[in-house]
Each structure stands twice: as C-alpha cells, then as structure tokens.
Amino acid sequence: MFGTIDAAVRKEPGLKSGREPDLEPCRPKNREPSRVTDRAQGREPSRLRIAALGSILPVLTLGAWQIAGDLGWISTLLFPTPFTIAETFARLVATGEMWTHLGISFTRAALGFLLGGGLGLFLGLIVGLFRRAERSLDPTIQMIRMIPHLAVAPLFVLWFGIGEESKVLLIAKGAFFPLYINTFLGIRNADNKLFEVARVLGFSRAKQVMRLVIPSAMPNILLGVRLSLGVAWLGLVVAELIASTSGIGYMMSDARQFNKTPVVFVGIILFALVGVLVDLFVRLLERRLLHWREGYKG
Amino acid sequence: MRVSLNQPEHLDIRHVSKTFVTQKGSVHALEDVNLRVRAGEFITLIGPSGCGKSTLLKIVAGLDDSHEGEVLLEGRRVTGPGIDKGFVFQEPRLFPWLTVERNIAADLSLNDPEVRRRVDELIGLVRLQGFAKAYPRELSGGMAQRVAIARALLRSPKVLLLDEPFGALDAFTRAHMQEVLLDVWQTNRTTMLFVTHDIDEAVFLANRIVIMRPRPGSIRGVIVNDLPYPRKKASSAFQEMRFRVLSEFEKPEEPVAADWAGL
C-alpha cells in the first residue's frame, strides 16, 4: 500500500513535465524566451537586478539635489549638497569625532535596551503565564505606558541628574513596553489545542513553558525585540537632547546652533544607517529562530 | 490476533454519564455507558455525530473531570490525563517549531540513548524513515498523523485512544494509515480505543465494534468481529460483517433513530 502511494506521489512531477510540451508552440511567438522559462521555473530575479531596482529613486533624488544645489536653485545653507555632506562625513570619520559620539550613543541605546527590554521580556512572561500577576501588575504598567517621554524627561533629570543614568533610564522606559506587550500577547495566543497535547503527554509545568509557551510566543517576542530596539534608538535623541555633552544627538543639536547643517545631515544619515543595521540583526535572529515557520514571501 | 477470554479487564468504563450545561440549557451527552475492554483488544466506537463517542474518549483520557461514573485502568481510577493513556487527536497537533523526531520525543531529551533508540524505532514503525529532521509544515496530512501516533506510542501507553484520527485524510492515505495502525497494534499489542464514523474503517480494524446512538449518547450494541487479519475489504466475509453493523444501525428502536438517519 505504502509503495503504491509513494509511486502516486512520485508521478506528480512527471505529470507536470508531461504538460510542458504544450508550451513549446508558444515560444517562437515570444520575443524573450529566457524570461518565460525563468518564470516557469519560479526563479527569482538576480540580486543585482533587485539592488538596481531599489536604487533608482535614491540615485535620481541625489542627482537632482546636487544639480539644484550647484545651480543655486536651493539654499545650500538649508540643503547642503550631497557632496558637501559626504565631505563632512569623511572629515568626521577622519578626526575620530564621529566614532566617539557614535560609540557613546550606541552604548546608551544598548544599555537602555538591555535594561528596559530585558525587564519587559521578564515581566511579559510573568504576566502572560500567571493570571494573578496579570491582575496585579498589568493595570499599573498600562498606566505608565501612556506617559510620554517628554513629560518624564525633566523628572528623570531631577531624580538621576544629567549623567548617564537619566538617559539610559529614559531609553529603557521606551524599550520596555513593546517587548512587554508582545511577549504577553504571544503567550496568550498560544494554541489551546497544543496545551491539551501537553496535558496528555504529561508535560511538567517547566517543560510546558520551555517547550510550548516560549516557542509559540517566539514570533511575537522577536517582533517585540524589533520594536523595542527601534524605540531605544529613537529614544536616544530625546535623551541626548535633554542635556548632554556627547553622543550623536548632541553632535546634531550642537551643529544646529552653529548652523553647521551638513553635520545635522550626517547625524540623520547615521541614525538611519544604524537603524537599518539593527533591523538586519533582528531579521537574522528571526531567520535562525523562526525557520520552522512558513511565511508569505510576497 | 486472538484475545483470550480469561485475561483480566484492562479498561473498565462504569456507569459513565455526562451532561453539558450551556446557557441555553443542558445537553445529555452520555448516559450510563458501560464497557469492559481486555488488554490488547482493538475496539472501535462507531456512531453518528453527536452520539458522545469523542466525549467518552476524553473521559477515558482523563481530559474531562465533570462526569458521573468512573473509568478504571488496570484497576486504578482515572483522575486526570497521563502518559499511561496515549491520545491521538483528529488533527495531528504537532509542535510546528520541532522536527519530526523532536515532536515524537516532545518533553523527553533525544540525548538520552534510550529515548533516541525508541524514537528511531517508532519512526521505522510508522514508516517515516528519512523524515526525522523534517518540520511539520513539510509533511503531508497522513505523515503528520503518523508522527502523532508515534508520539503517543513513545511512552508505551497502556491504552491508545484515537479520536477519528484519519477523518481528515483522503481515501487512499486513510487505507494506508489503517494498515500502519494495524501493524503498530500487532507489533506492540497496545490496547486500542478508536473512535470513527466510518463503518468500513470500524470493520477493518476492530476485534469488537461498539455501536453508539445519540441523545443521550449510549451504547446500542457490541459486535464481535472475528475476521482474520489481514482483512480484505472486497471479500464477502468483510461485506457480511459490514452489513451486520449497518443492520444494527437500521434496527427500528426508537423514534430517535429517524432523527439522525439523514446525517
């Protein structure tokens, strides 16, 4: 019996290839036969092509910007040309000024993320797993969540001074909530049917958490990590604008006061670049931890 | 496989009744169900939907704790789910983040040489060689259900409870799965309690066919099926047995019978 079904399954690709000759008569009519076969085999376009497609708009914009600046159509004080920005960028790298600021900013964001995100993950797990914890903790956490950064920033400075603590804590406050909420949601979304399986198989409470709850919450937890990292990086600006003498945020606000617009642009580019890199890191993490999932790839 | 009559009762279902209370009122799902199963028997529970056969299976599994009567497994009262009662659900219910072998091991570690050996053995028994490292999404419905059966067997349950396990499969896969299950049964001699609504399936698999009726769910009759294995579905003896089961359903009994005849 097994053999016959196996054979039936194996026949399927054969059936498909059997249909192929039907395509043959169409081919001469088509001007681009190679594209037809590419589609038929479901092959993806080359990486180079994807990159080229994605860079059309930025390249055109930069070109237009440079030309408009050179011809004096736009104020180079407000919109320094891409070339000037690149020059400034190179200078900041060469003097080492950029690395100092970037290093400080990165450390602040990382510490804030580890502190806030770690606490968010931990409390999300506790509140997700235990009803009693949910009832006693969640309302308070939800209240704190709605208080804006800028409202508590002055208080943080009063309490913790203008040193590193207030900045790291402000970032941590932001990074806490996405991880907390998504961890909680992920746990509560776990399939009840799988819990029944765990009961039938006699899972211990610990195994139930390790083998069922956490893996099934993992997609949400990683979404939380991604959002928390983003919030930590964005919270950095607020933190560094309050009162600081270092970091990218400081570099930018300092430059703004002295009308060094190119430096402001360099700061913006840096924020964007680090953001993309951080996001790439989380995506790699997702690919490693969630490879069991079959997602829609567009 | 013959089951000798002097074997002790393995599973004893005594006066089990169950009423579901909903907002609209109460539904009498089971009323005074009694069934004694000997070790190594293959029992199929058959009946129309709503006859409480799945409910009965859940009670035996210990997944339901608000019923009357009691279930004894080897003389001990069933009070909750446990590894002595294997359960195969209608859907495979595999952990999507675990490979086939890890799904079978579930909470046990594959680093344990004994677990490793048993898992490999079961993968062979349910004919999944070469798929040990596959993820559930890569499996067909029949393959996934075979993983679920292997998972339930790993802990050497005293009884394997199967709740319409092949209901969602196509006819060919289904026939194949029935053969795999008989193979497992003949190798392990595990007691089987198998819920189905397919008469062919019931006749093909069971030593004894328990026929249930709905509203309230109860046992209508038990047919001893002593056809020798392997059974041939096209044989006249098989068809005869099939007719016996069918006629049991068609016996005029109560007006209730007409109610679900069209289902």
Question: What is the least distance, in Å, from the CA of A202 to any CA of chain B?
Answer: 5
- In chain B, whose CA is at the least distance from the CA of A206? B107
What angle in degrees, to the nearest 10, is found between the helix axes of B141-154 and B171-188? Answer: 20
DSSP track, chain A: -HHHHHHHHHHHHHHHHHHGGGGGGGGGG-S-HHHHHHHHTTPPPPHHHHHHHHHHHHHHHHHHHHHHHHTTSS-TTTS--HHHHHHHHHHHHHHTHHHHHHHHHHHHHHHHHHHHHHHHHHHHHHHHH-HHHHHHHHHHHHHHHTS-HHHHHHHHHHHH-SSHHHHHHHHHHHHHHHHHHHHHHHHHTS-HHHHHHHHHTT--HHHIIIIIIHHHHHHHHHHHHHHHHHHHHHHHHHHHHHS-SSSHHHHHHHHHHTT-HHHHHHHHHHHHHHHHHHHHHHHHHHHHHSTT------
- Per-residue pLDDT, A238: 78
Q: Is B97–A216 a contact, with Cβ atoms under 8 angstroms apart?
A: yes
C-beta of residue B212 within 8 angstroms of C-beta of residue B57: no
**Residue A36 confidence (pLDDT):** 45
Q: Do A202 and B81 touch (CB under 8 A)?
A: yes
Are the beta carbons of A2 and B176 separated by less than 8 Å? Answer: yes
Which position has the higher pLDDT, B250 or B165?
Answer: B165
Query: Min CA distance, A203 vs chain B (Å)?
Result: 6
Any B CB within 8 A of A2 CB: yes
Mean pLDDT of A269-298: 82
Q: Is residue B143 predicted with pLDDT exceeding 80? A: yes
Three-state SS at B211: strand
User: Residue B215: what pLDDT?
Assistant: 81
Mutate to test the interface with A, among B60, B89, B107 (most CBs of A within 10 A): B107
Report pLDDT digits (tens) over A125-182.
999 989 899 999 999 999 988 888 778 888 888 888 878 888 899 899 999 999 999 9
**pLDDT > 60? residue A40:** no
List, edge to edge, every strand of the sheet that includes B218-224.
B85-88, B159-163, B191-196, B42-46, B208-213, B218-224
Summarize the confidence of residues A230-250 as an average pLDDT. Answer: 83
For chains A and B, CB pairs below 8 A equal: 67
User: Quick one: what percent of chain A has pLDDT higher than 90?
Assistant: 35
pLDDT surpassing 60 at residue B186: yes
Token reading at B80: 């909750």
Q: What is the pLDDT of residue B173?
A: 85
| B90 interfaces chain A, CB cutoff of 8 Å | no
Q: A44 pLDDT band (50/70/90 cuts)?
A: low
Q: Is any Cβ of chain A less than 8 angstroms from the Cβ of B134?
A: no
Q: What is the chain B residue with the closest CA to A1?
A: B176
Q: Which residue has the tokens 């009759």?
A: B221
Strands (E), B102-190: 159-163
Selected residue of B97, B135, B158, B162 to mutate for chain A interface (largest A Cβ count, 10 A): B97
**Average pLDDT for B95-103:** 92
Cβ–Cβ under 8 Å, residues B148 and B162? no
Dig out the tokens for B135 from the structure: 């993820």
**Interchain pair B93, A216: CB under 8 A:** no
Taking an 8 Å cut-off on Cβ atoms, the answer to whether A193 and B137 are in contact is no
Contact B83 A193 (CB under 8 A): no
Residues of B in contact with A203 (CB under 8 A): 106-107
| Residue B107 near residue B157, CB atoms below 8 Å | no
Cβ–Cβ contact A5 with B under 8 A: yes
Tell me which of A201, A203, A220 to substitute to probe the interface with B (most B C-beta atoms closer than 10 Å).
Answer: A201
| Interface contact A296, partner B, CB < 8 A | no
Fold annotation for B1-84+157-168+176-263: Rossmann fold (3.40.50)
Confidence of residue A186 (pLDDT cuts 50, 70, 90): very high
What's the confidence (pLDDT) of residue B258? 45
Mean pLDDT of chain A: 82
Both tokens assigned to A31:
């001007």
Tell me the per-residue pLDDT of B10-63, one tens digit each, with 9 for 90 and over. Answer: 899 999 998 888 888 888 888 899 999 999 999 999 988 878 888 999 999 998
Per-domain residue ranges of chain A: 2-70, 82-289
What's domain A82-289's architecture?
Orthogonal Bundle (1.10)
Phi, psi of B8 (to 5 degrees): -70, 160
Q: Which residues in chain A touch residue B86, judged by CB atoms under 8 angstroms apart?
A: 200
Specify whether the CB–CB gap between B195 and B54 falls below 8 A: yes
Q: Which of residues 96-115 of B touch A (CB under 8 A)?
A: 96-98, 106-107
Give the span between the Cα atoms of A286 and A268, in whole angstroms: 27
A206: contact with B, CB 8 A cutoff? no
Which positions in chain B touch A197 (Cβ < 8 Å)?
89, 93, 95
Phi and psi dihedrals of A3, rounded to 5? Answer: -60, -45
Q: Quick check: A199 contacting B, CB < 8 Å?
A: yes
Closest CA to A92 of A240, A251, A272: A251
Cα nearest neighbour of B62 on chain A: A200
How is residue B217 annotated by DSSP?
B
Determine the pLDDT at residue A2. Answer: 43
pTM of the entire predicted model: 0.74
From the list A199, A218, A294, which residue is nearest B63 (CB)? Answer: A199
- Name which of B90, B95, B108 to mutate to probe chain A: the one with the most chain A Cβ atoms within 10 A of its Cβ: B95
CA distances from B220 to A71, A117, B118, B209 (A): 95, 61, 40, 11
Judged against a pLDDT cut of 70, whether residue A5 lies above it is answered with no
**pLDDT for B254:** 55
* Residue contact A193–B85, C-beta within 8 A: no
Please indicate whether, in this complex, the C-beta atoms of B95 and A215 are within 8 angstroms of each other: yes
Round the average pLDDT of chain B to a whole number and report it: 86
Q: Which of A28-32, B176-180, B240-244 has the lowest mean pLDDT?
A: A28-32
CB contact under 8 A, B95 and A212: yes
Q: Picking from A43-47, A170-174, A210-214, B142-146, which range would have the lowest pLDDT averaged per residue? A: A43-47
- Nearest 10 degrees: CA dihedral of B81, A202, A209, B107? -150
pLDDT of residue A156: 85
* pLDDT at residue A37 greater than cutoff 50: no
Helix axes A214-242, A97-129, angle to 10 degrees: 140
Q: pLDDT category, A21, cuts 50, 70, 90?
A: very low
pLDDT tens, residue by residue, A53-92:
888 998 999 999 999 988 888 888 888 989 999 999 999 9
What residues of B are in contact with residue A194 (Cβ under 8 Å)? Answer: 93, 95
Q: Do B95 and A194 touch (CB under 8 A)?
A: yes
pLDDT category of residue A29 using cuts at 50, 70 and 90: very low
Confidence of residue B262 (pLDDT cuts 50, 70, 90): very low
